[in-house]
Amino acid sequence: MTDPAPPKRIFAPAKDEAETAAQQASSAQTEDPAYRLAFQDSEFLLRPDLRPVRFQLELLKPELLLDEAGIASTFVFYGSARIPAPDKADAIVEAAVTERQQAIAARLKANAHYYDEARKLAAMCSRYDRDADGRRHFVVCTGGGPSIMEAANRGAQDAGEESIGLNIVLPFEQLPNPYVTPRLSFQFHYFALRKMHFLLRARAVAVFPGGFGTFDEMFELLTLVQTGKVARLPILLFGREYWERVVNWEALAEEGVIAPADLNLFRFVETAEEAWGHVCGHYGGGGQA
């Protein structure tokens, strides 16, 4: 005779309880919002007082789903949502009317090759070997939008692998690009929680030319590494000409507001091959490019 095994749980699952509640007879009491199960009451969950709970939910949902998907680490891609794919650059130039528009269009076209570099790098890191437990490393993770983000998710698809998109609710339409893996496509309300998820699993970060959002994400990462809140990891800035034109890095050190050694927190790179080589060198090789 074997010893009896105790049940795994004695309370009904929340899902079952929710189904039971939905089948209850209608009355003045059951129809009032006060009677709704708290976790099914959207009006209650959206109250200002519940902000801490919403923070926790936005932290927890992607964390659980990424863990269930067997994703151990990520390769994060930051960059502009406006740089065109090379095959669309000429159309932007042709549509420019004023002298200023033409100058901007010319710069966008000049940077269009970074779309291809992001796509190539994403394909390279997506082919990295799984570990002994079958978990994936250097999984492509982007903001889920167009341009550089689209290129990275597209590169992962080229390699036959899944990729992550961390989208954000904005006043204008912001849909995930079609190359994000649907089950790894997340939507955020809070920028802070989205940025946290960018870095929780990050083991390398590629920063392509970009604007305010790219600067925000890049400088927060540099600050975290500079202050020791995050361990050193490869931070790869694509396009030395661009980054030295828009940021006077040496001046920051000369003014004494950063240490000269802080300029070593990142590397300038020009190609996908160069970037992947730095990542492999940082971690001692391994994987397949």
pTM of the model: 0.92
Give a yes or no: residue 58 inside a domain: no
Give a yes or no: residue 155 inside a domain: yes
Show Cβ contacts of residue 225 under 8 Å, excluding neighbours closer than 6 positions: 231, 232, 233, 235, 265
CATH of the domain at 159: 3.40.50.450
Give a yes or no: residue 62 inside a domain: no
State the total domains in the chain. Answer: 1
Query: pLDDT per residue over 147-180, tens digit each?
Result: 999 999 999 999 999 999 999 998 876 789 999 9
Give a yes or no: residue 1 inside a domain: no
Give a yes or no: residue 227 inside a domain: yes
Tokens encoding 23: 């089948």
Return mean pLDDT, the chain.
94
Alpha-carbon span 207 to 248, nearest angstrom: 17
User: Residue 240's domain spans which residues?
Assistant: 69-282
Residue 92 is predicted with a pLDDT of 94
Q: Which residues of the chain have pLDDT under 50?
A: 287-289
Tell me the CA distances in angstroms from 4 to 1, 7, 37, one per residue in order. Answer: 9, 9, 35
Contact between residue 124 and residue 163 where contact means Cβ atoms under 8 Å apart: no
